[in-house]
Structure 1
Amino acid sequence: MLADLGAEVIKVESLEGDQVRARPPKRDGFSAYFGNLNAGKQSIACNLKSPEIIALIKDLIATCDILVENFRPGVMARFGLDFAALREANPRLIYCSISGYGQTGPKALSPAYAPVIHAASGFDMVNLRYQDGADRPATSGVFIADVLGGTHAFGAIQAALYQREKTGAGQHIDLSMLEAMVGMLVFETQEAQFPGDARRPLYTPLKTNDGFIMVAPTSPRNFEQLTDAVGHPEWRDDPRFLTNADRNANWATLLALTETWTRERSAEEAEAILSRHGVPCGRYREIDELLDDPQLASRGAFAEISDGAGSFKVPNPPFRMSGSRVEARNHVARLGEEGADILTKLGVDESAVAALRARGDLL
């Protein structure tokens, strides 16, 4: 996201490279998954066990505004690259650590990936409670905690940059993916403290004759629009649906009656009719449908970038700015592609770069 806003981002990789480079979908050895996550970044691949490399990385960090790392707490200190070791050389440095549980606390050193955090945060059990008939938490496939943690880091970095403009001083950002997930469970956090009310209305997929549609008539006006759309204005006088509280108490019944109408139509037809009447709704779509979606196309939601295997689409940030270019940059670095150039800009001469390569410390 920082690169999408035009920041010069240098990815420091091991000599073996980020493991995501090997993940599918791959074409001719190039991972589109990696390209999606790393568009616009430069790459330097080096041996972080080499004292000379560590010294050069410190010199590099001294020229940077921001450092982002997501090792387990303590790993950067073992490299000699923790915030305390770097802030003297670069007091304006904004140092962002992203970890599963944060830098402190009894679980700080526990290993954690997104699916683990989904389970530990209560998110998966909340979802299970909302799935009538399910007997175990859902399988993880979309790594919400990773994306949510990165997005919170993006916001925190902006705030730290703004504070630095006022004070001249950088700072350490300690971001916990667990806390990011807990913060997303707004209603559930309060319900856990004050239980006892009726179950909240759940938004259930409604069947159509060729798929599913989501219908969300949450406001009194939406309910009236729904009754018009499905041809049942008499529902407005039904004692079960007279007030918002009545509708919430009989929400499942309202959706079941609506499903009687949607089952007789295709998802596309139901969506068109409901939308025409102003009812919030959306048919369930496969992800490949979105690649050519007119709404997303009109917004420029995707950028087309290229790597060594050809071009592919990646999402742009979900916001537009009137005075800034906001889009994925068309560059996917090969492993260590800019390493020599980065060191040369630091003042390392060509013979020294060649020596690092000869010793196997630099790709």
Structure 2
Amino acid sequence: MSLAGNDESRLTGCFAGLRVLDFSTTIAGPHCARMLADMGAEVIKIESVEGETMRTRPPVRHGCSTAFGQLNVGKKSVVLDLKSPDGVGAVRRLVAAADVLVENFRPGVMQRLGLDFAALSALNPRLIYCSISGYGQTGPSAELPAYAPVIHAASGYDMAHLSYQPGRSRPDYCGIYHADVVTGTYAFGAIASALYQRERSGRGQHIDCSMLESMLSLTLNEVQWSQFTVAQPSRPTFGPAACRDGYVMIAIASEKTFQNLMSVIGQADWVDDPRFAKYSDRRANWGALMDGVEAWSGRLSVAECLDRLNAGGVPSSAYRSVAEALADPQIAHRGALADVEDAAGSFKVVNLPFRMSEARVAAGPRAASLGEHTADILREAGVIAPGKH
């Protein structure tokens, strides 16, 4: 979906003409390369003969995973054996015409294959080579195995989150992989920055992206609080407020929203109450404040509560399932979901969360079958002779 008033047929992707070699697996690297594909780049996914591990992740229909499709739609699939001289030779031919390479193997793997930055930049000095790893390419933890749940724990994120759950001491289970998505997005930004610098310098470079540091960037307050002694509020600042038939989230993040909320709940005099008038006092007495809010919200249904909060200019929401969020008319208005296909049929994926007035930003139409483009890409690179398969 383009911005209002634009003729979408005239738009092209910001990275049209860019060729990306995607060696990555699972989530972080594929997410990064999918963003590049959505922005118009030609992304060639290099897979083993067994196929990338996400191809077997549910939901699977007739052998095709939509989880894989969500991360890899719009890419081409080429099967190569990177442990064979022929496979390495093919990569070297492909690198000669590539702009970007993305990989998320454990540090040292690409070097052992003879496909590290030093080896490949000698073939193509303009190559931007992005390495994503758990802890970074060097240092005492560099070669430790890592997946997102491990990084959540190692970064302090899980314990920081737990500190907002009163009366609990056991960390939460992990099912949503923030580290992968955040790191993949940082890698995308670094690649875009390196492309801009290359326009001026004519040279590519190596990007070393750490999942551990990416997760630390999410704990904005905690990074500061860990250096100093900061009093914690008597109740976590943001949490569910009970209604008659469920819960709502109310976010009081400014003086204006605090004043609006007090007006909505019929406690306008609390704006000048010494317990709540200043932010520091309000924070210290947060439990008493929210007890007063719940004395009001507990008499109302979720729908009634939201109607009054929205009318009063108070940021708030019901707690929705993902399915409920996807059904929001705002999602349809924004064109946030794209219909795509794979060999098993059609499904929906989430588009990138931004629109551009002069560029097309959209998921590709199809998730490739394993090795679907091998012959065409290798023939184009001169690895196999014309007419051969």
Q: Of 76, 94, 97, which aligns to 1:60?
A: 94
1:71-82 alignment, distance < 5 Å: 71-82=105-116
Q: Does 1:344 align with 2:379?
A: yes
Aligned counterpart, 2:23: none
Measure the CA separation in 2 of the matches of 1:288 and 1:72: 35
**Superposed displacement of residue 267, structure 1:** 1.8
**Superposed displacement of residue 45, structure 1:** 1.1
Q: Is the 8 A contact 2:148 2:179 kept in 1?
A: yes
Measure the CA separation in 2 of the matches of 1:332 and 1:243: 54
**Superposed displacement of residue 218, structure 1:** 2.2
Measure the CA separation in 1 of the matches of 2:271 and 2:295: 17
1:1-363 alignment, distance < 5 Å: 1-199=35-233, 202-350=237-385, 353-354=388-389
- Percent identity of the aligned residues? 54
Instruction: Report SS of the residue matched to 1:178.
Output: helix
**Superposed displacement of residue 207, structure 1:** 1.6
Instruction: Report SS of the residue matched to 2:338.
Output: strand
Measure the CA separation in 2 of the matches of 1:47 and 1:221: 60
**Superposed displacement of residue 166, structure 1:** 0.6
| Deviates most, 142-151 or 296-305 | 296-305
- How many residues end up aligned between the 2 structures? 354
- Counterpart of 1:12, as a letter, is I
Measure the CA separation in 2 of the matches of 1:36 and 1:116: 23
| Structure 1: gaps of 5 or more residues | 355-363
| Deviates most, 30-39 or 287-296 | 287-296
- Counterpart of 1:275, as a letter, is N
Measure the CA separation in 2 of the matches of 1:240 and 1:185: 28
Measure the CA separation in 1 of the matches of 2:175 and 2:302: 25
| TM-score (ref. length: structure 1) | 0.94
Instruction: Report SS of the residue matched to 1:92.
Output: coil
Q: Is the 8 A contact 1:316 1:327 kept in 2?
A: yes
Q: Deviations over 1:62-81 (max 9, x none)?
A: 11100000000110011110
From the superposition, tell whether residues 353 and 173 of structure 1 become closer, same or farther in structure 2 (CA, over 3 Å).
farther
| Deviates most, 42-51 or 149-158 | 42-51
Measure the CA separation in 1 of the matches of 2:228 and 2:278: 24
| Deviates most, 242-251 or 73-82 | 242-251
Instruction: Report SS of the residue matched to 1:130.
Output: coil
Instruction: Report SS of the residue matched to 2:217.
Output: helix
Instruction: Report SS of the residue matched to 1:318.
Output: coil
Measure the CA separation in 2 of the matches of 1:41 and 1:239: 59
**Superposed displacement of residue 37, structure 1:** 0.5
Instruction: Report SS of the residue matched to 1:43.
Output: strand
**Superposed displacement of residue 307, structure 1:** 1.3
- Counterpart of 1:28, as a letter, is H
| TM-score (ref. length: structure 2) | 0.88
Q: Is the 8 A contact 1:343 1:353 kept in 2?
A: no
Measure the CA separation in 2 of the matches of 1:353 and 1:81: 26
**Superposed displacement of residue 352, structure 1:** 8.7
Aligned counterpart, 1:361: none
Aligned Cα root-mean-square deviation (Å): 1.5
Instruction: Report SS of the residue matched to 1:155.
Output: helix
From the superposition, tell whether residues 64 and 156 of structure 1 become closer, same or farther in structure 2 (CA, over 3 Å).
same
| Deviates most, 19-28 or 341-350 | 341-350
- Counterpart of 2:175, as a letter, is G
Instruction: Report SS of the residue matched to 1:112.
Output: coil
Measure the CA separation in 2 of the matches of 1:348 and 1:237: 76
